[in-house]
Structure 1
Amino acid sequence: MLTGIIAAHPDHLWRPENAPRAVVAKRGPRPGKVALVVGGGSGHEPTFLGFVGKGLADAAAIGNVFASPPPQPAVDAALAANGGAGVLFLYGNYAGDVMNFDMASELLEMEGVEAKTVLSTDDIASAPRDQREKRRGVAGNVFIFKAAGAAADMMMPLDEVERIARHANDRTFTMGVALSSCSLPQTRRPSFDLPAGEMEIGMGIHGEPGVRRGPLRPADEVADELMDAILAEMAAPAGSRVAVLVNSLGSTPLMELYILNARIAQRLADAGLVVHKTLVGPYCTSLEMAGASITVMHLDDELQRMLDHPCDCAMFRQG
């Protein structure tokens, strides 16, 4: 996969010698710039490597399907992108990723490279509000990576890039619905059982259990259930600005995503919220899983500026 991606996007990406699982932006890293390094298991494309490029992530460490990358690829990615201003690791809150990236941070510190970490925790279905630190990072990564990448591209210092990444995470809320399972390439069997005609609300991107299972319902009713939870959690006053991501989990087509977005736009308007930006498509997938997720970021002036900052990645461009 990585060989094919490098062949398709040679103007955006390269791999360091003897570091086959590290992907680096051709025009992102530069002297004096904080290196933003993202990463995680494969199978979620275009997350993570599709967001490596100027104005977004400087490098990514890629693991096996649904598996954390080992520490060494994270070190390789960080050293290749290091501009002397420190490294920020930014990735979803999963035990394997935390363990391996923490080891990578320790190895970098031994090399004299300062490394900090921010975990994304946008999946509101994965833990109660008072235990937000236990939540998973899912499609909201797109907005969180974008904000941190813009801050780094603006040559802000490491502490400031870290602060903006945490601020973006605190204001990003995601909830999803699965309509069918996916199958891992090595087993070719469904990773969980979801009978035809049923759906699961809150399912994770690796098949982690959701919060409710029941009969498949019309798109507007599904959108309403997800938006009810997101709007309650976000608690944004009327007049607030938001960014929206309607994400396919893999096999859900654009047609169905736009049907969902019609209802989402209506719900946001009814709540008195102003949509600044909407992304629709496969941004954080789960192999061939059928289903979708909705992400809403509660913007302020700073976050809007970060989202609007130009970027040029293999699979995402802005400005």
Structure 2
Amino acid sequence: MKKLINKADDVTAEQLHGLGLAHLDIEVHHDPAFVSVVGGAKDRVAVISGGGSGHEPLHGGFVGMGMLDAACPGQVFTSPTPDQMYAAAKEVAGEKGVLQIVKNYTGDVLNFQMAADMLRDDGISMRNIIIDDDVALKDSLYTAGRRGLGTTIIAEKVCGAAAREGYDLDQMAALCRKVNLYGKSMGVALTSCTTPQNGKPSFELGADEIEIGIGIHGEPGVERIKIKTADEVTEILADHIFEDEAYTRKLSEWDSAKGDWVDSEVTDITFSSGDEAIAIVNGMGGTPVSELYTVYAKLAEIAGRHGVKIIRNLVGNYITSLEMAGCSLTLVKVDDEILRLYDAPVNTPALRWGV
């Protein structure tokens, strides 16, 4: 294992310390660990997210004006704890409540639910919206349903802008739910990655093998195949996105007004000719950005064949898996509301425009 670390047990704390020193417009807290905007979100709905470390810049790199008000980093590839989320919300939240954006991994979902219950007991209005945009699978050993991937970034950006426009908590929840249902993602791994605590690869791939549909923690994908060209790999990933059928699943959200969890059913979209979309070609940490542009060129061509126009894009490392080589594709259908909020100014360590 070759990594720029000191002690494996100190990795998350030391990286957070460096983040705070590098970006003085955000605050880093260590006991418990979370990152927050200076001054909190007392005059608006607070937007909070989190997850295991090792996926940077997600989520701490998206804390700042126009995006997240706080982020809770767990240890590497480990869910943050409820006390982190509780402390983060108490730090930033005002009277307008908290929207928690939760990637669909079992530990994240359970811990954010526990935090919501704790905050409810303190009289803080809550909504937990789950992001489950991974079209690779419907269920796995690691999730109850599809995993949360790149649509998380768009949800955090759009909801952060909506909060600053004065959306109330119900409007924020509806918006976040819509973004999730409009997004689809699919990833591929060319290599494994090594967590500092384990010191060995999370899984094994042959020198000529790639894993289609991989999860961001190294969870198994849908198939393991021989290495192919960039265009061929992009075709495989994009085909899964464009051929994905509308997926209906149960949704459970905390409703502060009712004081209980409320179940409903939601169905995502399928892409149709004439749709406009935001595209993300995301690196997994070990892939050169130049290769990601090769992938983007093919994705744009494929989208055009389907009559889908990409009107905004992100190409680079946004949700990584340490040093894993590979990429994920995300397409999020946009309407006027989503596009307006996406284009609104943002100023975070990892995303910045309009300022």
The bucket for the TM-score relative to the shorter chain is: over 0.9
Classify the secondary structure of the residue corresponding to 2:319.
coil
Q: Is residue 259 of structure 1 aligned with residue 270 of structure 2?
A: no
Aligned mates of 1:126, 1:21 — CA distance in 2: 32
By how many angstroms is 1:139 displaced?
Answer: 2.1
By how many angstroms is 1:127 displaced?
Answer: 1.0
The one-letter code matched in structure 2 to 1:23 is V
Q: Which residue in the other structure is 1:303 paired with?
A: 338
Q: Which residue in the other structure is 2:28 paired with?
A: 15
Q: Which residue in the other structure is 1:278 paired with?
A: 313
Q: Which residue in the other structure is 1:231 paired with?
A: 242
CA contact (8 A) 2:151 2:179 kept: no
Of 104, 126, 133, the residue aligned with 1:122 is 133
Aligned mates of 2:94, 2:42 — CA distance in 1: 4
Aligned mates of 2:205, 2:223 — CA distance in 1: 12
Of 41, 61, 65, the residue aligned with 1:30 is 41
Aligned mates of 1:15, 1:285 — CA distance in 2: 21
Q: Is residue 193 of structure 1 aligned with residue 204 of structure 2?
A: yes
CA RMSD, Structure 1 to Structure 2 (Å): 1.5
- Aligned ranges 1:35-114 → 2 under 5 Å: 35-114=46-125
Once the two structures are overlaid, the 10-residue window that deviates more, 267-276 or 185-194, is 267-276
Q: Is residue 180 of structure 1 aligned with residue 191 of structure 2?
A: yes
Classify the secondary structure of the residue corresponding to 1:244.
strand
Aligned mates of 1:26, 1:134 — CA distance in 2: 36
Classify the secondary structure of the residue corresponding to 2:109.
helix
By how many angstroms is 1:174 displaced?
Answer: 0.3
The one-letter code matched in structure 2 to 1:149 is G
Task: Please identify runs of 4+ aligned residues in structure 1 that moved more than 2 A.
Answer: 29-32, 233-237
By how many angstroms is 1:83 displaced?
Answer: 2.0
The one-letter code matched in structure 1 to 2:58 is T
Could you tell me the TM-score, scaled by structure 2's length?
0.85
CA contact (8 A) 2:41 2:69 kept: no
Aligned mates of 1:254, 1:227 — CA distance in 2: 19
Percent of counterpart pairs with the same letter? 42
1:52-102, Cα deviation, whole Å (9 max, x unpaired) = 111111001110000011111101111111121001111201111111111
Q: Is residue 287 of structure 1 aligned with residue 322 of structure 2?
A: yes
The one-letter code matched in structure 1 to 2:329 is I
By how many angstroms is 1:30 displaced?
Answer: 3.4
Aligned mates of 1:237, 1:197 — CA distance in 2: 35
Aligned mates of 2:220, 2:101 — CA distance in 1: 24
CA contact (8 A) 2:45 2:97 kept: yes
Q: Which residue in the other structure is 2:257 paired with?
A: none
Q: Measured at CA, do residues 133 and 69 of structure 1 come closer, stay the same or move farther in structure 2, by a change above 3 Å?
A: closer
Aligned mates of 2:104, 2:41 — CA distance in 1: 28
Structure 1 unaligned residues grouped into runs of 5+: none
Q: Which residue in the other structure is 2:276 paired with?
A: 241
Q: How many residues align?
A: 313
By how many angstroms is 1:20 displaced?
Answer: 4.2
Could you tell me the TM-score, scaled by structure 1's length?
0.95
The one-letter code matched in structure 2 to 1:169 is N
Aligned mates of 1:309, 1:160 — CA distance in 2: 17
Aligned mates of 2:151, 2:234 — CA distance in 1: 17
